[in-house]
Structures are given as C-alpha cells and as structure tokens.
Amino acid sequence: MNRKLTIIAIFATSVLAPSCSEDAAGPCDLWVAFAVVSGRVTDSGSGAPIVNTEIDVMVAEGSQCDGSEQWIETRRVTTDNAGQFSLKLGLGNQNGVRCVGAQETNSGRITRDTVEFVGGCNDTRPPGRVNLDISI
C-alpha cells in the first residue's frame, strides 16, 4: 500500500472506530420514551368541533393528576378541521407513568390524565396513548 493510502486508512480507522473509554455512550444509553396525547375540542352547547384553536399539551414531573402538577414540558398544537389534535411526546431516557394535560389556550379549559411513557433499550412496546377531550 502506498503512503497516501496508508494515511487515509489510519485516519478512517481512528474516526470510525468506537471509543473504548468509560465515558462513551453505549447503544442502550441513548433512548427516548414516548407517549401519544390526542383529543378533540368541542363547543359545550352544540357539540360542534372547535377548529384551528391552540392546545398546550403538558407533561408533569410526576404521575399525580390532582391539580397541583408541576409541568416540566409544554408543547403547542392546533386542532384540525374536526377539532382534533394529536402529539407524540418524547421524555428523554426516562420512562414510566406521568400526568399529562391538555389546555385550550383561549378559554384556559384543561383536562388531564395519566399515560405511560414507553421506551428503553429492550422495550419494544408501542408508546402509551391517552385521549384528552376538551369541551368549552
């Protein structure tokens, strides 16, 4: 092998070879737990869908849904032409049951429930799902 090819081969091996240090992330260290929150927003009098309204979908620090939640993440979505919304939430590499809430931003009306965030190296289950309908 000529000198130029040898240098390229050494460089490629050093860049592409995995690190053996203790600080290197392994394949099971980098995962995200997911849950899907969906729902429908309707008018309380007529039952008609509320379209194009903004919904804040929130994740609490714990699993208690008692009105004293500490929300740690909020994502905003907009309802579609049927008044429906859906959002897949990632929770980093933490799994387990959490309280989630959906709040219609104009009225402040909120509904909450628990859902399991599913993930992990050997966890092949689909994300937990919860439906949070709002009537305003």
Query: What's the average model confidence in pLDDT over 37-54?
Result: 97
* Per-residue pLDDT tens over the stretch 51-91: 999 999 999 999 999 988 999 999 999 999 999 999 999 88
Q: Please report which confidence band the pLDDT of residue 23 belongs to, taking 50, 70 and 90 as the band edges.
A: low
Chain-wide mean pLDDT for the chain? 84
* Residue 50 to residue 90: CA distance in whole angstroms: 26
* Per-residue pLDDT tens over the stretch 95-113: 889 999 999 999 999 999 9
Give the Cβ contact number of residue 107 at 10 Å: 14
Contact yes or no for 109/103 (Cβ under 8 A): yes
The per-residue pLDDT for 121 is 79
- Measure the CA angle with vertex 58, ends 131 and 135; round to 5°: 45
Tokens 């387990």 belong to residue: 96
* Residue 29 to residue 108: CA distance in whole angstroms: 38
Question: What is the set of domains in the chain, with CATH numbers?
Answer: 25-135 (2.60.40.1120)
